[in-house]
Structure 1
Amino acid sequence: MSELLLPDAEATDALGARLAQTLPARAVVHLHGDLGAGKSTLARALLRALGVTGTIRSPTYTLVEQYPLADGGLALHLDLYRIGDPGELEFLGIDPADARLWLVEWPQRGQGALPAADLDIELTVAGSGRRCLLRAGTATGLGWLGEAGLA
C-alpha cells in the first residue's frame, strides 16, 4: 500500500502520467471516494496520459464511456453511482475482452459483476488537495505499483 498527498491538480496529473507510463497489458482500477474526492479527475489524467484526445466526459449520467487508446485497445470509464443493482451492468453492453483498462468509480455498487481490481485507489479531500491510497489487489497490481515507483 502507498499513500500520497496530491496537493493540487498538477500532482493528480503527474500521478495519472506515472500510472499510464507503466500500464500493464490489461488492468482494472477501482476508484473509491466521496463525491468531489477527485475520482474523475484522476481517471481523466490517466486517460490523457494514455493519449486520449478530445473531450473526456464523466460517465455520471451515461454510466460508461469508451475511449480508444493511442497504442491500441480500449479504456472503459464507468461511474456506477446511479445503478441500483449490480445486475444492471449486464445491460451496458460492455465486452470485457475489448477492454485494456477499466476505470471504475463507485465499484462497490457493481460488486460481484465487475472484474477484480488490480489496483484500488482511494481518494479523500485533505485541505485544498487530496490524500491518495493505492492498494494492489493482484500480482499485476503489485507489479504495476512497483514499476511506477509507488510500491
Structure 2
Amino acid sequence: MQEMVLIKGPNNSLHPATEEDAQKLSKFKIGRGVRLKATQMSEHNTKFHRKLLALFQLGFDRFSEQLDTGMEYKGRLIKASFNTFRKQLTIQAGHYDPVFNLDGTFELEACSLSYAKATDEQKAQIYSDVIQASLDHVFEAGMAEDELRGLVDKFLAFDN
C-alpha cells in the first residue's frame, strides 16, 4: 500500500505535495481507479510536512553529490535512495524503534513521523532533531543551524 500526501486543487483535483509523492503517484496507470483511505491534514500539518521533506531533500541532494556513482554490488549499480536516506536520517535524529530480524539480531527502524497526532512542540522537536542529525551527518562541520534553516526556507520559496 502506498502512502502519500496529496493537496486538493481546483475542480476536485489532487496534486502530490512533494517530488517523492509525485514519484509514487506516477506508478499508477492513467485511467485506472484507485481506492483511497484519506485523512485530511490541517494546513499547519501540510506546511510542516513540506518543510520537513524539504530538509530531507536538501540533505539527500548534498549526500548524493558526495557518492561514487560508479560502484556496483554483484554486478548491479548501487543507487542513492531518497526513502532509505530519509529513514536513516530519522534514525540518526533519534526517532526509531529497535526491532528483531529473522536471525535474532536487531536493527533500528525509523519511526513514522506522525504530524497529525503531534503537538506543535513535538513537531518543533522532530524538526530540530532532524536539523541536528543533518548537521552532524550530512552537511559540512562549518554550517550553522540557522544557515541550514535558511536554506530550507529558500528551498520552499522556490517550490511555491
Question: TM (normalized to structure 1)?
Answer: 0.26
Instruction: Report the structure number with the largest CA radius of gyration.
Output: 2
Q: Relative to total residues, which structure has the larger helix share, 1 or 2?
A: 2
Q: Which has the higher contact order (CA 8 A, sep 6+)?
A: 1
Q: Relative to total residues, which structure has the larger strand share, 1 or 2?
A: 1
Question: TM (normalized to structure 2)?
Answer: 0.25
